């Protein structure tokens, strides 16, 4: 195994190594461009990852789970990873080779010896994605729906719901007020719609014996007014998958009498029922069924030739991951309809998902301002490190030494025989995929989660190190004025002190013969972070180097001292003194820097 503890030969700066106070959200370095060469920390860490997984699987795993690990014991569950068929990958907006070379695949015995589908998993093997499908639907909707559509009340889109609202106040339970639910609240998992789809067998009515065993009372569903409406609905039970009369209107009818989970916009709660409804909103507003629509909007423009909705084509069945013959209906399309496809019926591959992820990071199908708006949290959960978007599941990874937060925009899928993730990290221009398959649903999620944790814990620190290394190479060093008689110069370096706030640091700055750092008496905003990259330039801003003291800091004192609220920088004749505009060549190396506030351009030595 190659060592991942290489030291950068960069200047070590004697700044404080305690926790960073509070940065502006966003990147601390320009994104790394070398993830795959022999000199890359990322390639090194990926090698460590694959070797560690090989080692774990060679050691074998217990034959049974009579004494399973604690549900949150990630390392304990990782020992069972050989039970899964899985595909891992990392891709990059700035290193075209990453998507192909940073992959790892493993076949369980069920797939190796299977009679259906592939027996050898690779980047073109087709997995069912389950709820990653929601991301495809949202992506297509952003290209299709008008801006005003996102805030339209559902009573405007489905008039029958308006009739329900008029009578809801007289009903005995807290029923949904559909006039307050919008397409965007459905997509953001904050509509308050009850989580479960009431027309699936999970509803206790589908099995009276099971309901009684769970302590639910016996009643005659043919005489209960709410239950009777469900029984009469063509979507009830397996009808949502098999009954052609289960239309959009029928599905909407099945939801309207179910009590709400929360008031709209009150708190996020994952609702498959709500997102299935969002899919029907998209269908209603576009006038198109799902398969041709998603093919036109996403699959075809991105060249995702192995991706599909509503089942794997017969011609590609040899690429499909099918760990058990009993789940064939979940592969060939029999378990998918136009009602369920937008929420969980998309199939794709490792290579195709890289195309999807890169297109989002690169603003290929959406304007950049729309992507920036979309890739933001819409609500918070009760956990500080988990936020909810539309339909992003945003995990906030905090470096234990520096306190720096990295936002991972993910979408998961779980159910049937698969657990899957697509993860994007805009700060670095990279993404990951985790695709797993195993018919044993009770343990698959735990093992797959442990696998995803292990991948990120191994690789993410190396992305930070590689970014710092490239920042020093591409931007570090001295910049001097070439104007005759002007004594102005700037020196930049990466602060590699362990635990220090990341970013390029101004170590020396002479402006018109004035020692700027000395003149500002320690208050100069000398830590640079990127804010924009366009037209052959990269713009950075100077932020504070203030660190959070090791003693406890109270909430409001910390907030009022932080960068985002106490915006650093002053204007000099209308231009920011803390703005640095770097000119870069086609290899990403800075050749000059302009400081607008100081009215000077400095050439890199």
Residue range 194-249, pLDDT digits in tens: 987 755 444 555 566 777 777 877 777 777 777 777 777 878 766 677 677 888 98
Cα-flanking dihedrals φ and ψ of residue 388, to 5°?
-125, 135
Cα 555 versus chain centre, distance:
28
Residue 581 has pLDDT above 60, yes or no: yes
pLDDT at res. 238 = 67
**Residue 211 lies inside a defined structural domain of this protein:** yes
- In the Cβ-directed half-sphere of 581, how many Cα atoms lie within 13 Å? 15
Q: Which of 58-67, 242-251, 558-567 has the highest mean pLDDT?
A: 242-251
Please give the share of the chain, as a percent, with pLDDT higher than 70.
90
Per-residue pLDDT at 11: 35
Report whether pLDDT(565) > 90. Answer: no
- Burial label for 534, CB within 10 Å (0-12, 13-18, 19+), is exposed
In which band, very low, low, confident or very high, does the pLDDT at 400 lie, cut at 50, 70 and 90?
Answer: confident
Does the pLDDT at position 399 exceed 90? no
Residue 129 belongs to a domain: no
Per the structure, the complete domain to which residue 522 belongs is given by: 476-604
Position 151 pLDDT exceeds 50: yes
**pLDDT mean across residues, the chain:** 88
Q: What is the DSSP string of 368-421?
A: HHHHHHHSS--EE-SSTTEEE-SS-EEEEEE-TTT--EEEEEEEEEEETTEEEE
- When pLDDT is averaged across residues 4-25 and rounded to a whole number, the result is 43
Whether the per-residue pLDDT at 12 is higher than 60: the answer is: no
CB 441 within 8 A of CB 424: no
Report angle CA 172, 176, 179 to the nearest 5 degrees.
130
* Most confident by average pLDDT, 162-176, 203-217, 563-577: 563-577
**pLDDT tens for residues 311-347?**
999 999 999 999 999 889 889 988 888 899 999 999 9
Coil/strand/helix, residue 148: helix
Using 50, 70 and 90 to split pLDDT, how confident is the model at 375? very high
User: What is the model's pLDDT at position 298?
Assistant: 99
Q: Is the pLDDT of residue 546 over 60?
A: no
pLDDT band, very low/low/confident/very high, at 544 (cuts 50, 70, 90): confident
In a domain, 23, yes or no: no
Residue 593 backbone phi and psi in degrees, to 5: -140, 135
Domain count, the chain: 2
- 552 located within any domain: yes
pLDDT of residue 144: 97
b/e burial code for range 462-490 (CB count within 10 A of at least 16 → b): bbbbbbbbbbbbbbbeebbbeeeeeebbb
Domain presence at residue 26: no
Does any domain span residue 584? yes
**Quick one: pLDDT band at residue 412, thresholds 50, 70, 90?**
very high
- Give the range among 98-107, 322-331, 362-371, 483-492 with minimum mean pLDDT: 322-331
| pLDDT band at 65; cut points 50, 70, 90 | low
Strand partners, 491: 478, 508
Within 13 Å, how many C-alpha atoms sit on residue 493's CB side? 16
Contact 314, 430 (CB under 8 A): no
Q: What is the pLDDT of residue 416?
A: 87
The answer to whether 106 touches 50, Cβ cutoff 8 Å, is no
How much of the chain exceeds pLDDT 90, in percent?
A: 65
The two three-digit tokens of residue 543, written as one number:
């932020």
Helices 248-256 + 225-232 axis angle, to 10? 170
CA–CA separation, 2 and 132 (whole Å): 34
Q: Alpha helices of 399-550 — where are they, by DSSP H?
A: 441-475, 516-519
The residue among 271, 288, 310 that closes a domain is 271
Does the pLDDT value for residue 60 go beyond 70? yes
Confidence category of residue 88, pLDDT binned at 50, 70, 90: very high
Are 266 and 190 within 8 A, CB to CB? yes
Rounded CA-CA distance 496/11 in Å is: 7
In sequence order, what are the beta bridge partners of 515? Answer: 510
Q: Write down which residue in 223, 244, 271 finishes a domain.
A: 271
From 219, 254, 271, the end of a domain falls on 271
Residue 396 resides in a domain:
no
How far apart (Å, rounded) are the C-alpha atoms in residues 177 and 93? 43
- Report the chain's terminal Cα–Cα distance, integer Å: 38
Burial class (CB in 10 A: 0-12, 13-18, 19+), 248: middle
CB 433 within 8 A of CB 353: yes
């Amino acid at each position: 195994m190659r060592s991942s503890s290489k030291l950068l030969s960069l200047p070590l700066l004697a700044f404080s190594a305690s926790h960073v106070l509070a940065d502006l959200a966003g990147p601390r370095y320009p994104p790394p461009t070398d993830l795959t060469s022999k000199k890359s920390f990322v390639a090194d860490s990926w090698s460590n990852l694959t070797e560690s997984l090989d080692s774990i699987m060679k050691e074998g795993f217990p034959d049974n789970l009579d004494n399973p690990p604690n549900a949150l014991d990630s390392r304990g569950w990782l020992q069972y990873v050989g039970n899964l068929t899985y595909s891992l990958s990392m891709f990059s907006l700035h290193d075209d080779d990453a998507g192909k070379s940073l992959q790892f695949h493993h076949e369980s015995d069920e797939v190796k010896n299977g009679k259906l589908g592939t027996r050898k998993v690779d980047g073109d093997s087709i997995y069912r994605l389950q709820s990653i499908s929601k991301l495809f639907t949202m992506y297509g909707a952003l290209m299709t729906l008008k801006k005003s559509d996102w805030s339209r009340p559902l009573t405007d889109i489905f008039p029958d719901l308006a009739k329900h609202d008029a009578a809801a106040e007289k009903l005995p339970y807290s029923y949904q007020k559909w006039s307050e639910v919008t397409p965007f609240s459905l997509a953001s998992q904050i509509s308050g719609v009850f989580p479960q789809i009431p027309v699936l067998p999970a509803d206790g009515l589908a099995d009276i014996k099971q309901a009684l065993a769970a302590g639910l009372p016996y009643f005659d569903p043919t005489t209960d007014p709410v239950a009777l409406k469900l029984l009469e609905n063509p979507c009830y039970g397996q009808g949502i998958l098999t009954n052609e009369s289960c239309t959009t209107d029928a599905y909407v009818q099945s939801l309207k009498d179910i009590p709400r989970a929360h008031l709209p916009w009150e708190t996020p709660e994952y609702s498959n029922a709500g997102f299935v409804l969002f899919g029907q909103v998209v269908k209603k507003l576009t006038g198109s069924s799902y398969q041709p629509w998603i093919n036109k909007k996403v699959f075809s423009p991105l060249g995702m030739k192995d991706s599909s909705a509503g089942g794997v084509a017969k011609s590609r069945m040899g690429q499909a991951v099918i760990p058990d013959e009993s789940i064939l209906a979940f592969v060939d399309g029999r378990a998918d309809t136009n009602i369920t496809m937008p929420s969980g019926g998309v199939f794709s591959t490792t290579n195709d998902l890289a195309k999807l992820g890169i297109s989002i990071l690169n603003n290929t199908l959406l304007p950049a301002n729309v992507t920036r708006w979309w890739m933001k949290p819409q609500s918070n959960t009760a956990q500080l490190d988990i936020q909810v978007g539309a339909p992003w599941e945003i995990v906030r990874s905090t470096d234990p030494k520096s306190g720096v937060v990295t936002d991972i925009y993910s979408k998961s899928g779980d159910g049937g025989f698969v657990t899957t993730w697509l993860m994007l990290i805009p700060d670095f221009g990279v993404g990951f995929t985790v695709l797993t398959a195993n018919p044993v649903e009770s343990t698959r999620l735990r093992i797959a989660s442990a696998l995803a944790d292990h991948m990120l814990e191994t690789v993410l620190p190396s992305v930070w190190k590689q970014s710092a290394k490239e920042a020093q190479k591409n931007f570090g060093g001295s910049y001097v004025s070439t104007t005759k008689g002007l004594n102005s110069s700037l020196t930049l370096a990466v602060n590699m002190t362990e635990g220090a706030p990341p970013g390029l640091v101004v170590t020396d700055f002479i402006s018109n013969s004035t020692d700027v750092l000395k003149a500002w008496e320690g208050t100069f905003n000398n830590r640079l972070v990127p804010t924009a990259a366009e037209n052959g330039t990269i713009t950075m801003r100077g932020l504070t180097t203030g660190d959070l003291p090791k003693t406890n800091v109270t909430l409001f004192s910390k907030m009022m001292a932080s960068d985002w609220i106490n915006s650093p920088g002053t204007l000099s004749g209308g231009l920011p003194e803390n703005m640095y505009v770097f000119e870069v060549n086609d290899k990403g190396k800075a050749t000059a820097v302009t400081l607008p506030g100081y009215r000077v351009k400095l050439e890199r030595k």
